[in-house]
Structure 1
Amino acid sequence: MLFHYDGQVDAWMDMEWSPQAIHVMAANQTKWWYAKRFLHPDIVARYNYIFLWDEDLGVEVFHADRYLNIMEDEGLEISQPALASSSSEVHHRLTVRQPRERVHRRLITGTGWNSCNANSTGPPCTGWVEMMAPVFSRAAWRCTWYMIQNDLVHAWGLDYKLGYCAQGVRSEKVGIIDSEYIVHEGIPSLGGQPHDKTAESQTNLRTANVLDASLLDPDAVDTRGEIRNRSKVELQAFSRRWRRAAASDPEWMDPFKVELPSEENHYAVETKPDGRFAPVDPSAKQAKKASRNKARGPNRTG
């Protein structure tokens, strides 16, 4: 099944498998919008695993059969392939490939704010995958599908709750597969102009007929800021709905009731001078902003 948000359906007709595929087109929609409407668990029940991937992923060295064999052998219900750190846009350190490992399930960052250690029991330290390339078992997908909200099309916040669908202990049943890895090219195909990152990314953008031609238009409106703001609003809405649903159900007992880092903060990440990725301490971020404002002096009008 191929979802088209850009109207470029005919551009895929030269693929040998295209006539046998189901093509669904809705302009400017996200994969989670499509998934909620067209990937009902009963519809895809014949499949053991569901790949729900973004389009800007390099899979030249990825082998799906080997990946699924590892996923089954390791007892993973939810997983993602690791990201090649040298050639990928990385948002979360947990997803970076560990070359000496077959699979890793947790991140160790030391001590301090938002640190991850061997005793961490939940996201973003363990029991978590990124939403760009998740793979679900049949049972995990049935659970996840019911958590997807019809009107929250960017699905921010859902990643923090995937562990509830892991059919067991999330720190064991959710993992990153290192031996079968991918590249995240970081092409912003929804909302406007691409980042001027590398010549290779620009070449890929110009040759990928799946992308809307307007992305190459120098006069095209860049709405990525609006999309990110919408995503943050959706994150807050999803979190409120979760808390309200949990509070209203007298039978609900949270199996993972522990103190976790703030959901609103886990999306903030910065690159250190040595190339390491680290979460941004919100208090430090606010202090830096206050320092900049002080340096500028008072606002002047007139």
Structure 2
Amino acid sequence: MKTQASFGLVFLLMTLVIFVAMTMKIQYENLTMDMGQQSFESTKRQWRNRIDALPRGVVESTTDMALKPLWERSSRKDGSGNYAALLAMAVGISQKQNVDILVRKFLIDNCSIILFHYDGNVDGWHDLEWSGKAIHILAYNQTKWWFAKRFLHPSAVSAYDYIFLWDEDLGVENFHLGRYLQIMASEGLEISQPALDPDQSSDIHHRITVRDRKAKVHRRVYDFRGSLNCSDESTGPPCTGWVEGMAPVFSRAAWKCVWHLIQNDLIHGWGLDMKLGYCAQGDRTKKVGVIDVEYIVHQGIPSLGGGSVNKAPSKSLDLRAHIRRQSTAELEKFKERWDQAARKDKEWFDPFEGYARIKG
């Protein structure tokens, strides 16, 4: 009897041990599956938000505008690494001669060229010897700001140290790109423009853009005409920290900010110049300036929406009037958006208001 009782007790204990072991195994497997599922879900989230799904050696995080040959063997990397500047302009065939002169100036220093054709005429440029080296983009009746928002994303132009977003009616007889960039870098400017020659420019809107023959660079203007009061105490546009929209030059860091400032639907860009200083990567009174020794001529030719051989003068004038009304309306809309955004963003503060109070 004792032997049978002992055997029964041993059997019961073994059964209990086996049951506990199986239970723990099941729990472990369930836990492992849950953890595996969570890990898998976490990995999927990372793949959705990052580029971790790619092997690091294959990732190309930057690009340039250099054209690649279809029928010749091309090296994987450009050995020169010389991507100092990119010139982008909205152009029409009526300004072909002037654009030709301007582009040749930039090509001397191996600058990349993008032409935004607003009149639909691309074939008319093919006879220029440099045309095949430029990138041509066509969209009818669009401004340079419209083109820039869609084709100059910071990630696409990150290989360039400086972005020139210029009008087509600029005279560059007294402009040298290499010297200009050297001055911009040595002066610590993030946003700049060449000064305007007052003797030849037919369209000067703001005195700060006028060339100072005695200076290499100037960052402010002194003007006391009408309601304008520009003095040493001035801390913002149009007295200091400001360039005009016809010939701005941006550093890579400044352009990344400016691209986000450009509104997708307000294509004339009116009002942008007054806010460019917020993209100056610091104090706009120091990092925004007009370079005097490398100066240009603003011819003031209203080509976009202007006359052509297919349009009567009266119709052209009517189109220009419509464009001006639209530009003015967009200016007011931009001001409203800025003010509304500044009110709603509780974490944002105006750095230049604080600077003005400290200086005062």
TM-score category of the 2 structures, normalised to the smaller one: 0.7 to 0.9
The corresponding residue for 1:131 is 245
93 and 111 in structure 1: CA distance in 2 versus 1, 3 angstrom threshold: closer
Cα-to-partner distance string for 1:185-226 (whole Å, 9 max, x where unaligned): 111101224xxxxxxxxxxxxxxxxxx5446x4464321111
Deviation at 1:82, TM superposition (A): 0.3
Instruction: Mark the CA change 1:107 to 1:38 in structure 2 (over 3 Å): closer, same or farther.
Output: same
Q: Point out 4+ residue stretches in structure 1 off by more than 4 angstroms.
A: none
Q: Describe the SS at the equivalent of 2:351.
A: coil
Aligned residue number for residue 280 of structure 1: none
Q: How does 1:9-88 map to 2 (within 5 A)?
A: 9-88=122-201
Letter paired with 1:76: L
Which residue matches 2:18?
none
SS of residue matched to 1:256: helix
What is the 5 A alignment of 1:252-291?
252-257=348-353
Question: Whole-Å Cα distance in 1 between the matches of residues 355 and 326 of structure 2?
Answer: 27
Question: Which one-letter code corresponds to 2:262 in the other structure?
Answer: I
After TM superposition, give the deviation of residue 83 of structure 1 in Å.
0.3
**Deviation (angstroms), 1:113:** 2.0
CA distance in 2, matches of 1:72, 1:106: 19
Which residue of structure 2 aligns with residue 242 of structure 1?
A: 338
Change (3 A) 1:154 1:74: same
Work out whether residues 90 and 184 of structure 1, in 8 Å CA contact, stay in contact via their aligned partners in 2: yes
Whichever residue aligns with residue 168 of structure 2, its letter is E
**Distance (Å, rounded) in 2 between the aligned partners of 1:220 and 1:113:** 36
1:143 aligns with 2:263: no
Q: Find the counterpart in structure 2 of residue 3 from structure 1.
A: 116
Identity across the alignment (%): 63
SS in 1 for 2:192: strand
2:231 matched residue in structure 1: 117
Superposition deviation, residue 20 in structure 1? 2.4
Report what 2:270 is aligned to: 156
What's the TM-score, normalizing by structure 2? 0.64
Supply the distance in 2 between the matched residues of 1:6 and 1:17 (Cα, whole angstroms): 20
In structure 1, what is the Cα distance between the partners aligned to 2:354 and 2:334?
19
Within the alignment, does 1:221 sit opposite 2:289 as a pair?
no
* CA distance in 1: counterparts of 2:288 and 2:127, whole angstroms: 37
Residues paired across the two proteins, number: 241
Q: CA deviation at 1:259?
A: 12
CA displacement 1:118-155 (0-9 Å, x = unmatched): 11000000000000000000000000000000100011
For residue 107 of structure 1, what is the amino acid of its counterpart?
A: V
Q: 1:46 to 1:259 in 2, by over 3 A?
A: closer
Amino acid at match of 2:191: I
Report SS of the residue matched to 1:23: strand
Aligned to 2:289: 175
Instruction: Give the structure, 1 or 2, with the largest relative contact order (CA under 8 Å, sep 6 or more).
Output: 1
Identify the range of structure 1 (104-113 vs 22-31) with the bigger mean alpha-carbon deviation.
Answer: 104-113
Residue 105 of structure 1 is matched in structure 2 by 219
Q: What's the Cα RMSD here?
A: 1.8
Over residues 275-302 of structure 1, what are the superposed CA-to-partner deviations in whole Å (9 max), with x where a residue is unaligned? Answer: xxxxxxxxxxxxxxxxxxxxxxxxxxxx
- Secondary structure of 1:79's aligned partner: strand
| Aligned-partner Cα distance in 2 for 1:85–1:221 | 28
What SS does the aligned partner of 1:187 have?
A: coil
Distance 1:160 1:101 in 2: 24
Q: Structure 1: how far apart are the matches of 2:157 and 2:115?
A: 14
Normalised to the residue count of structure 1, the TM-score between the two structures is 0.76
Amino acid in the other structure paired with 2:206: H
Matched residue, 1:282: none
Query: Could you tell me whether the CA contact under 8 Å between 1:214 and 1:220 is conserved in 2?
Result: no
Alpha-carbon distance between aligned partners in 1 of 2:335 and 2:355, rounded to the nearest angstrom: 15
**Distance in 1 of aligned mates of 2:354 and 2:244:** 21
Q: 1:190 aligns with which of 291, 297, 304?
A: 304
